[in-house]
Amino acid sequence: MFYSFILLFNIMKKILLGLLDWIYKRKCYCCSSSKEGLILCSKCYNSLEFNPPMVDRIINGSNIYIAGAYDNNMQKIIRGLKYHNKKDLAYYQAKFMYEYFKMLDIDKQFQVVPVPLHKDRQRKRRYNHMELVAKEFCEMTGFILNCELIKRVKNTKPQYKLTRVQRMQNLDSAFVVDKSRVMNLPILLLDDICTSGATFESIILELNKNNMKDITCFATSSPNF
């Protein structure tokens, strides 16, 4: 009798857990499909389009690469990670950047430096989205993660409504280098969106002041105009 009860209990438990999995199955953040049980389904990921594997622009002697356009599903991925606590999307953003980076055929061992948030903004958001992306990217590439090299000491205004001149004024003296964190490796700066390039430029100038010249910048996306 006892063993029959245990058997029945285990069967009911398995049925209940299966039902809960079905009810709460993870949906794709972009299309809401639950077929794969992933936060980003393969169809939506495969819809992301790469830019041609080439230098997008050069800022103060540093090459800027941009993996894709900030539109459609890429916009949803970046905003979901950045503003809506969808931390699992960091893996897919990093994967997209990694697959593009492989096409560039750059033969260097980098220290990867994500663009930092000001401490007040990071405290409010509870994480730096680009640190999460950079960590995933480093696991894919084998590069060294360095989240401490650059500090954001000025709580800047959001950049998207500003002109290029206003962006540079907004970012003036926004970043400092922590000299105790310097590594003898080329630097790969990571950011999610590159519009005017003002954020990259401000960081490059600060690194140059500290005799760091071997800098490559890499953004996930750039808006189409």
What are residue 223's phi and psi, to 5 degrees? Answer: -65, 150
State the pTM of this model: 0.84
Residue 61's region, left for phi above 0, alpha for psi from -120 to 50, else beta, is left
Give percent of the chain above pLDDT 90.
69
Structural contact between residues 216 and 63, judged by C-beta atoms closer than 8 angstroms: yes
Q: Which of 6-20, 63-77, 180-194, 211-225 has the lowest mean pLDDT?
A: 6-20
Chain-centroid distance, C-alpha 192? 5
Q: Is 92 helix (H, G, I), strand (E, B) or coil?
A: helix
Structural contact between residues 216 and 106, judged by C-beta atoms closer than 8 angstroms: yes
pLDDT in tens, 79-100: 999 999 999 999 999 999 999 9
Given this model, what pLDDT does residue 9 score? 66
For 97, other C-beta atoms within 10 Å of its C-beta total 26
Given this model, what pLDDT does residue 3 score? 47
pLDDT in tens, 134-177: 999 999 999 999 999 999 876 665 655 656 656 555 566 678 99
Residue 92 structure tokens: 């897919």
Tally: H helices and E strands in the chain = 8, 8
pLDDT in tens, 4-39: 556 666 677 666 645 544 445 679 999 999 888 899
Residue 132 structure tokens: 């999460």
Which CATH number is 48-222 given? 3.40.50
Domain boundary assignment for the chain: 1-43, 48-222
